[in-house]
């Protein structure tokens, strides 16, 4: 048997029928065409006929199929990402937060930094203005500046000095006007010096400092002030303090209460008069 017969013998169909190579090619071409017609003619299958499309139409359809496939793949990937985020445990992030106490102190520290920065900046601007001799708005910083303001000159005040026979002597004095605190300190100094001339107060009695807040006036006196009150006794001490409080109330509204200190400390001594509590005149 020659080689051609062997090949023919090898190429058998399923039913045992032999065929040669050209037959195989023709049969494969027909089967391929049949398959393409079935794929391309499914639109008209329901109507009993098939539509043969051009090569360009096939390419367009293939591109559309490819685009739909990519879109489906992206949609599936997006769904997987959503599932991944939906399964994420956000409680872990909450657990990483700093404790509430730490966050509160952090905010307080931040506010303190801003406040300190603003204070330092404002202080620097005012200091520069003082060096240039400029005045910020209508603000004055000393009695000397008050006296330089037009219309600010001498001020008249009333003193209520206690009399040995009882009652009070009203005196009028004039002083160079300054800041209210400076005027109060000046007026009380004149009052104390007047009592020292009458030998009512010890020579070392002086007004150290004063501080005003609303209707309260805080007066810090030397130790000789308390010693003088003990020497005067209850009645004369009461008259001396009453005249001082009345002098302040009549001249510096809205001051009503006067609290005395001795050498910067609150006195607990109530003999002969109580200077632990503030003095206020009724009516």
Question: Number of C-alpha atoms within 13 angstroms, CB side, residue 72?
Answer: 6
Residues 6+ apart with CB under 8 A from 126: 136
pLDDT (average), residues 192-220: 93
**pLDDT at residue 165, rounded to an integer:** 86
Per residue, what are the HEC states of the chain?
Answer: CCHHHHHHHHCECCCCCECCHHHHHHHHHHHHHHHHHHHHCCCCHHHCCCCCCCHHHHHHHHHHHHHHHHHHHHHHHHHHHHHHHHCCCCHHHHHHCCCHHHHHHHHHHHHHHHHHHHHHHHHHHHHHHHHHCCCCCCCCCCHHHHHHCCCCCEEEEEEEEECCCCCEEEEEEEEECCCHHHHHHHHHHHHHHHHHHCCCCCCCCCEEEEEEECCEEEEEECHHHHHHHHHHHHHHHHHHHHHHHHHHHHHCCCCCEEEEEECCEECCCCCCCCCCCCEECCC
Tell me how far the alpha carbon of residue 176 is from its chain's centroid: 45
Euclidean distance between CA atoms 190 and 178, whole angstroms: 16
pTM for this model (two decimals):
0.49
| Phi/psi of residue 170, nearest 5 degrees | -90, 125
Tens-digit pLDDT profile for residues 119-167 = 888 888 877 776 776 555 555 555 565 555 544 578 999 999 999 888 8
209 pLDDT tier (thresholds 50, 70, 90): very high
Question: For residue 273, is the peptide bond before it cis, meaning its omega torsion is within 30 degrees of 0?
Answer: no
> What are 7-44's pLDDT values in tens digits?
444 444 444 544 444 444 445 444 555 555 455 454 44
267 or 1: which leads in pLDDT: 267
Q: What separation in angstroms does the CA of 39 have from each of 33, 44, 57, 156, 260?
A: 10, 11, 13, 117, 112
Q: Describe the crossing of helices 223-251 and 180-197 by its angle, rounded to 10 degrees.
A: 120
Tell me the pLDDT tens digit for each residue of 215-252.
999 999 999 999 999 999 999 999 999 999 999 999 99
Structure tokens at 46: 């329901």
């Amino acid at each position: 048997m020659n080689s051609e017969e062997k090949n023919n013998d090898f190429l058998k169909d399923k039913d045992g029928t032999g065929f040669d190579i050209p037959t195989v090619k023709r049969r494969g071409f027909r089967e391929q065409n049949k398959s393409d017609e079935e794929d391309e003619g499914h639109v008209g299958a329901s109507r009993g006929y098939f539509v043969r499309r051009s090569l360009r139409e096939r390419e367009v359809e293939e591109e559309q199929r490819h685009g739909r496939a990519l879109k489906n793949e992206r949609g599936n990937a997006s769904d997987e990402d959503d599932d991944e985020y939906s399964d994420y445990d956000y409680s872990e992030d909450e657990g990483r937060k700093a404790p509430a106490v730490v966050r509160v102190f952090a905010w307080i520290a931040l506010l303190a930094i801003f406040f300190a920065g603003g204070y330092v900046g404002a202080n620097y601007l005012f200091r520069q203005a003082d060096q240039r001799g400029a005045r910020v708005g209508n603000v004055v910083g000393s009695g000397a500046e008050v006296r330089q303001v037009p219309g600010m000159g001498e001020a008249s005040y009333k003193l209520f000095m206690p009399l040995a026979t009882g009652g009070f002597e009203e005196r009028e004095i004039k002083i160079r006007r300054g800041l209210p605190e400076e005027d109060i300190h000046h007026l009380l100094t004149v009052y104390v010096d007047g009592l020292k001339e009458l030998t009512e107060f010890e020579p070392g009695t002086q007004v150290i400092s004063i501080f005003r807040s609303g209707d309260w006036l805080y007066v810090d006196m030397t130790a000789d002030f308390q010693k003088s009150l003990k020497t005067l006794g209850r009645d004369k001490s009461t008259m001396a303090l009453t005249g001082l409080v009345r002098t302040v109330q009549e001249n510096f509204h809205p001051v009503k209460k006067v609290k005395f200190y001795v050498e910067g400390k609150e006195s607990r001594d109530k003999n002969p008069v109580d200077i632990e509590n503030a003095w206020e005149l009724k009516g």
